[in-house]
């Protein structure tokens, strides 16, 4: 919970408890208690904003007012039965008031560890060469929203970037996948990241390497903010792509929203076919990055992007896309697949032949009839030097921000911040070695020693 949320609950419930159990309740007491209770409420609403999870706490001044109106001055606290009942009711009420905001926190992201402040900016790119396969009008072109995170030169100046710019639409898009009503995620609109909107780019280095990020089916471009911000703070330009109509919701600058529509991708052959759309998206974004480097409208990225050093990572279907692009596009030097089945064209038995790391969840579902084929695909991809790691106490969404959103979404025994630290450290060491071309393979071996519970293997 945030500072003033905690303050509201502590102050108002102390006042409420004192009112219920003190032997003397004078007008003077209420003349002080009521203004304090309402003032703390008003300050919290102004400083931090309303969210529905705080409704029980918001009602505490009203209940305090009711106590004033319904009780007489200098009234005894009552019998032990009365005290016991009041104590039980107050405990239940306090538990609800604390549990709701605690189970759906607003403070999600820790400060990145790198030397750079993080900046971010958003682009709307239209591929005039491709039709939009989900549109009814054949004249519609493929449109993508792309958010870029980068090392910033401003030391915390400017506005902090919100986690989601279009919370309502994304929450509505996630509603079916997470099996929870959209309104329960409305508080994500209050979450701030560590990035600063449109900040000036850092001049520390002449050029910076690039990493592309691709979300999972029904995910969204910001779903791995914990990882994207860390990599940007370590000196990478990170490009996060919304794959329109396969993302939970993509909102264009004119207000149009492309909601998730790929509900028929139920088997391996169909997902193998569909991934071509995502590969074409990534290839288009790579072309746009090269254009940005030649000449950006506001000159932020002009000449600052090292297009000879590009890597890619993704979660789930996005991880499969990263693997496919590593195989097919010479611009991608290394890739990480986070718990993604390797959909797409068949990889040779000899392996990918380029640096590849497959991160997997411990709690994968092996009961599916396609699981044998998936294991064979993984084996081929890892042949000839591919790397793999399995993180304990994780499931498929442990590799995203989702488990930070609520303890209710976590796997048994999982500490999401610890899991994210493992992901970030291995990702950074991998990309530093194969994209920045700094360091050596000993860094990965040191991490394997540092985290002995992680099953890291070089094939």
Total Cβ atoms within 10 A of residue 263: 9
Q: What is the pLDDT of residue 71?
A: 66
Q: What is the pLDDT of residue 199?
A: 93
Q: Is the domain of 88 the same as that of 122?
A: no
Q: Is the domain of 252 the same as that of 396?
A: yes
In a domain, 37, yes or no: yes
- Residues in the chain with pLDDT values less than 50: 73-74
Longest dimension (CA), the chain: 86
Q: Is the domain of 179 the same as that of 315?
A: yes
Q: What is the pLDDT of residue 299?
A: 87
For β-strands 237-242 and 455-458, DSSP reports them as unpaired
Which one, of 17, 98, 13, 91, lies nearest residue 55 by Cα? 98
Q: What is the pLDDT of residue 177?
A: 72
Q: What is the pLDDT of residue 155?
A: 66
Q: Is the domain of 151 the same as that of 186?
A: yes
Span between the terminal Cα atoms of the chain, in Å: 44
Supply the pTM of this predicted model: 0.90
Q: Is the domain of 251 the same as that of 298?
A: yes
How many domains are there within the chain? 2
Last residue of a domain, one of 37, 69, 103: 103
Last residue of a domain, one of 41, 72, 103: 103
Stretch (H or E) spanning 310: strand 305-315
Q: Is the domain of 39 the same as that of 122?
A: no
Q: Is the domain of 27 the same as that of 149?
A: no
Q: For residue 403, what are the domain limits?
A: 117-458
3-state SS, residue 172: helix
DSSP 210-256: EEEEE--TT--TTTTHHHHHHHHHTT-EEEEEE-TTTSSEEE-TTS-
DSSP β-bridge partners for residue 127: 142
Q: Is the domain of 171 the same as that of 66?
A: no
In a domain, 75, yes or no: yes
Domain harbouring 373, CATH code: 3.40.50.1820
Last residue of a domain, one of 59, 81, 103: 103
Q: Is the domain of 54 the same as that of 146?
A: no
Q: Is the domain of 121 the same as that of 86?
A: no
Stretch (H or E) spanning 9: helix 3-21
In a domain, 111, yes or no: no
In a domain, 264, yes or no: yes
Q: What is the pLDDT of residue 25?
A: 64
Q: Is the domain of 161 the same as that of 42?
A: no
Q: What tokens appear for 260 in the block? A: 């998730």
Q: Is the domain of 40 the same as that of 128?
A: no
Q: What is the pLDDT of residue 74?
A: 47
Q: What tokens appear for 108 in the block? A: 């999600």
Say how far apart CA 326 and CA 260 lie, in whole Å: 26
In a domain, 108, yes or no: no
């Amino acid at each position: 919970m945030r500072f003033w949320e905690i303050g509201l609950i502590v102050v108002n419930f102390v006042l409420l408890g004192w009112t219920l159990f003190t032997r003397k309740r004078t007008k003077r007491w209420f003349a002080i208690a009521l203004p304090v209770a309402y003032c703390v409420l008003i300050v919290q609403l102004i400083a931090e904003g309303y969210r529905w999870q705080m409704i029980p706490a918001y009602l505490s001044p009203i209940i305090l007012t009711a106590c004033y109106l319904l009780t007489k001055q200098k009234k005894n606290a009552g019998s032990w039965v009365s005290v016991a009942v009041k104590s039980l009711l107050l405990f239940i009420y306090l538990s609800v008031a604390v549990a709701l905001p605690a189970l759906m926190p607003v403070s999600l992201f820790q400060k990145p560890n790198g030397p750079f402040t993080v900046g971010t900016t958003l682009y709307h790119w239209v591929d005039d060469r491709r039709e939009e396969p989900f549109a009814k009008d054949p004249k519609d072109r493929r449109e993508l929203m792309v958010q870029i995170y980068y090392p910033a030169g401003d030391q915390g100046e400017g506005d902090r970037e919100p986690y989601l710019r279009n919370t309502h639409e994304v929450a509505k898009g996630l509603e079916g996948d997470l099996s929870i009503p959209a309104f329960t995620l409305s508080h994500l609109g209050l979450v701030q990241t560590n990035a600063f909107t449109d900040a000036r780019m850092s001049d520390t280095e002449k050029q910076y390497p690039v990493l592309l990020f691709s979300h999972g089916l029904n995910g969204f471009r910001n779903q791995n903010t914990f990882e994207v911000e860390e990599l940007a703070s370590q000196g990478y330009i990170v490009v996060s792509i919304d794959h329109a109509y396969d993302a939970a919701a993509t909102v264009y600058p004119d207000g149009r929203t492309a909601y998730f529509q790929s509900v028929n991708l139920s088997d391996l052959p169909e997902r193998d076919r569909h991934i071509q759309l995502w590969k074409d998206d990534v290839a288009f974004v790579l072309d746009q990055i090269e254009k940005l480097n030649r000449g950006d409208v506001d000159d932020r990225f002009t000449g600052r992007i090292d297009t000879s050093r590009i890597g890619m990572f993704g979660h789930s279907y996005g991880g499969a896309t990263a693997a496919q692009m590593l195989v097919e596009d010479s611009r991608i030097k290394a890739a990480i697949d986070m718990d993604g089945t390797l959909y797409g064209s068949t990889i040779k038995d000899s392996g990918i032949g380029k640096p590849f790391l497959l991160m997997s969840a411990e709690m994968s579902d092996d009961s599916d009839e396609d699981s044998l084929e998936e294991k064979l695909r993984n084996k081929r991809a890892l042949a000839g030097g591919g790397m793999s790691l399995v993180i304990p106490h994780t499931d498929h969404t442990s590799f995203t921000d989702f488990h930070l959103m609520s303890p209710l979404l976590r796997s048994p025994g999982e500490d999401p911040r610890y899991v994210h630290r493992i992901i970030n450290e291995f990702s950074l060491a991998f990309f530093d070695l194969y994209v920045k071309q700094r360091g050596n393979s000993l860094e990965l071996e040191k991490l394997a020693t540092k985290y002995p519970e992680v099953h890291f293997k070089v094939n």
